[in-house]
Structure 1
Amino acid sequence: MTRLMALALMLIGGAAFVYLWKLGEKGQSAAHWPVTSGTIVESRLDVRPHPGGDGQREDYLPQLRYRYSVGGQIHESSIRRYPNPGAMQSREQAEAVLARYPHGAVVRVYYNPERPQVACLEPGEHWTAWAGKALTLIVAAAGLVLLLKGND
């Protein structure tokens, strides 16, 4: 049973690391993508109860959607950056994001020249990718330690 758990931790940690690595690479690549102008078509705050909480805490998710054109083709996206940061525990932080992208604002859109429907507003790898990669490596390492201890 210990061996199975160790292998599961290593597999889950490794797979999650690869996934986050690819998202981080996409964020880094976006800095070199062509830029076009776009328009914010949705900018709102989504307030949700914090999962697993006591009902007192809330998470704040800035919801953005923008429209842009590449080669005469209209595209829409909701990706702010890679990985998309998601919910925040601070209403002020979420509102600050929305203040940068009010409804109707003209924005710079970085789009993948090979797949123009893939785009973002903020190139570069978000810090959560680094934190996530570190966490997944810890999970994989815990599995390895568990596996090695099980062989003693």
Structure 2
Amino acid sequence: MNSRHNRMTNVGRKLVMFLGFLFIFVGYILAYEKGLPLLDRAKASKTWPTVEGVVLESRVESHRSSNSSSSTYSPHVVYRYQVEGKDFEGETVWFGNDVSTSDRTMSEETIRKYPVKQNITVYYDPADHAIAVLEPGVFKTTYFFYLFGWLFLGLGILMASSVLFRSLLRLFRGGAEMQTPAESAG
């Protein structure tokens, strides 16, 4: 029974370690591959050049998962603008507006600001004219992926380090117990 318990304990440790590293990996991707570039782009957008554009589509999108009865909402705005004689279409109202929330009113307020056929000011990235935004700067939702990524990173680090710490503690305790009989014999 003791060997079965030890085997189950080892499997448990390996599982927690695996999940810890998986959380670290996912957290890194969310925070540093998605979140941080989004924050950098949002900050930079305040100094981007502008052109006139026009709203092509404007609606609230509803999202319902298959295992839930509740819905989340996000604004869907499509606009056209032209830079150096070339036409572009954009869908970004602000960096982070692709985050769905259960608050429909926020999406409805956004849609009211951008009705179809309305002329608008578009801020575009001078390095990549296909990247544009209607409301430059950083907003609360801009931080979503960065903070969510750090939540995963923190949990992963906590899980992995707890297993490593316990293993090191057992190693040192086992090493101290093994030294004691040898010291008393000498």
Cα distance in 1 between the residues matched to 2:40 and 2:113: 25
Cα distance in 2 between the residues matched to 1:71 and 1:104: 22
User: Contact 2:35/2:144 (CA < 8 Å) preserved in 1?
Assistant: no
Q: CA deviation at 1:50?
A: 5.1
Change (3 A) 1:67 1:131: closer
- Superposition CA RMSD, Å: 1.7
**What's the TM-score once normalised by structure 2's chain length?**
0.73
| Alignment match of 2:157 (pick from 129, 138, 144) | 144
SS at match of 2:53: strand
Mind listing any 5+ residue stretches in structure 1 that lack a counterpart?
Answer: none
User: Contact 1:24/1:126 (CA < 8 Å) preserved in 2?
Assistant: no
Cα distance in 1 between the residues matched to 2:64 and 2:157: 36
Change (3 A) 1:115 1:28: same
| Alignment match of 1:106 (pick from 114, 119, 133) | 119
Cα distance in 2 between the residues matched to 1:10 and 1:91: 32
User: Contact 1:85/1:126 (CA < 8 Å) preserved in 2?
Assistant: no
Deviates more, 1:139-148 or 1:36-45: 139-148
Task: Render the CA deviation track for 1:93-115: whole Å, top value 9, x for unaligned.
Answer: 22211110011111110001111
Change (3 A) 1:3 1:47: closer
Task: Render the CA deviation track for 1:109-149: whole Å, top value 9, x for unaligned.
Answer: 00011111111101112312324322321221221122221
User: Contact 1:61/1:94 (CA < 8 Å) preserved in 2?
Assistant: yes
User: Contact 1:13/1:139 (CA < 8 Å) preserved in 2?
Assistant: yes
Structure ID, larger Rg: 2
2:30 is matched with which residue?
16
Give the total of aligned pairs.
150
**What's the TM-score once normalised by structure 1's chain length?**
0.88
2:44 is matched with which residue?
29
Cα distance in 2 between the residues matched to 1:33 and 1:142: 37
Task: Render the CA deviation track for 1:16-68: whole Å, top value 9, x for unaligned.
Answer: 110201111111111111011100011122333356322xx333332211011
1:74 is matched with which residue?
87
AA partner of residue 77 (structure 1):
G
Which structure is richer in relative contact order (CA contacts within 8 A, separation 6 or more)? Answer: 1
Change (3 A) 1:51 1:136: farther
AA partner of residue 125 (structure 1):
V
